[in-house]
Structure 1
């Protein structure tokens, strides 16, 4: 568990949106790394500063299980992250 004194980075490997509200609120930084690739080196490049963070969601990330499935066009409201949320390279 993270605390205010200890900085904590959460690295989530998943193949679908997960309900992450508690973990997101307790972490100093949160990285969602999509499974489906073998590019673990790419993740370490970003974490150690050799590459910049980038990526945008191609789906809407729900905030509760009751919202699933939650897609861009089905009127889902109150989501955790909207379709297209993310970062461009810096």
Structure 2
């Protein structure tokens, strides 16, 4: 999923993929009932030219990037 151009238009971005039975946990984060923390387990590319992912590329978010609120 390439989101580089859209990010400046959004207040936040959550990639929940397929939460299944853990969807309630995603809802808790989105509604502010839980303070999320975490780190990316992969680098997030800026564009399709960065596939396959190469560690030397200038990614949108690098492996291990993370936030908490």
1:84 aligns with 2:57: no
Higher helix share: 2
Cα pair 1:67 1:76 within 8 Å, conserved: no
Normalising by structure 2, what TM-score?
0.81
Give the CA deviation at 1:34: 3.1
The structure with higher relative contact order (CA 8 Å, sep 6+) is: 2
- When Rg is computed on C-alpha atoms for both structures, the one with the higher figure is 1
How many residue pairs get aligned? The number is 68
Q: Which ranges in structure 1 are unaligned for 5 or more consecutive residues?
A: 1-17
Poorly superposed stretches of 4+, deviation over 3 Å = none
Q: Which ranges in structure 2 are unaligned for 5 or more consecutive residues?
A: none
Normalising by structure 1, what TM-score?
0.65
C-alpha root-mean-square deviation of aligned residues, in Å?
1.7
Alignment of 1:58-73 (within 5 A): 58-70=41-53
